[in-house]
Structure 1
């Protein structure tokens, strides 16, 4: 399935976290949800990303966000991973990768010349109404959590705000060009009226 587009409803799901608790997306309505998909527990890139989320967890909570990590690992693997690195947020077990598929992040990958099916590292910011507010389709771990925080602090529609700022100078530019044109036209009319007056 394709990745859900910004403004569209986020696909609902229910998965178990590392403690065996059921987590349902629709029950989090009214909160911003940072839903991040990662390939595998306790691997270098995934550990670094999880620890970045851990280190900024209180800041993310202050910004009104709930963090949910999702991978195809089972709850036992998630529990070991969460305990080892003191992760304070739910890690959801998408063992059948249905949720990854519904978010368009399950597909063919290649590593060391070997192709296999797996999760693409991606993050979705879901707003308080349950709609996709922003998508990071191919995440680079470094600086990613800071980028999410900036988006949350600037409002979930930070991407929509950027084009508005870019358009503002463009609107001012034509106004400046129009003003000189009006000034040039005015002086030409005045001498034309005065000339006949001198002949009389």
Structure 2
């Protein structure tokens, strides 16, 4: 698992954003230096039906954008599946397709899990706050399904990661 105060490992992943998603290329984390970034890793099962965390991000996404906070949700799915999910649920924020799970492993969120007595490997729902210099400032693991966006904003304010706007 990654830790606070370490440099966020760089990666490049295909991006899905709104209906033009299949025309967009990819996102490289290092290219986002100068921005406050929130990476949220979601397990596959969070893309089935309506998820409270996705709803929370959707409800508060414009507030994140207004504050200059960059949100990316990373899922271990193919780009086409994420595109269908984004359209079906009107997801306004970018989704990153980590189909092979390489970035989930890089960040240590691909872990052993238990459900109904069975052990399996999967993504632990995790959010990572990265400052403008690319340093990990806070890790939420596991993430609360409701109210998470407000937790993120409060933490960013407490750490004074955003400049005051006139």
Greater per-residue helix proportion: 1
Alignment coverage as a number of residue pairs: 154
Q: CA deviation at 1:154?
A: 2.7
SS of aligned partner of 1:88: coil
Residue 52 (1) aligns with residue 56 (2): yes
How far apart, in 2, do the equivalents of 1:59 and 1:43 lie?
26
**Mind listing any 5+ residue stretches in structure 1 that lack a counterpart?**
158-200
* TM superposition outliers: structure 1 runs of 4+ over 3 Å: none
Residue 87 (1) aligns with residue 91 (2): yes
How far apart, in 2, do the equivalents of 1:96 and 1:15 lie?
11
1:18-97 matches, cutoff 5 A: 18=16, 19-20=21-22, 21-40=25-44, 41-43=46-48, 47-97=51-101
Q: CA deviation at 1:153?
A: 2.5
Q: CA deviation at 1:121?
A: 0.4
User: How much is the aligned-residue C-alpha RMSD, in angstroms?
Assistant: 1.6
**Mind listing any 5+ residue stretches in structure 2 that lack a counterpart?**
162-166
> Does the aligned pair in 2 maintain the 1:39–1:119 contact within 8 Å?
yes
TM-score of the pair, normalised by structure 2: 0.86
Considering only CA atoms, is the larger Rg found in Structure 1 or Structure 2?
1
| Greater relative CO (CA pairs within 8 A, separation 6+) | 2
> Does the aligned pair in 2 maintain the 1:63–1:149 contact within 8 Å?
no
Residue 130 (1) aligns with residue 159 (2): no
How far apart, in 2, do the equivalents of 1:30 and 1:49 lie?
26
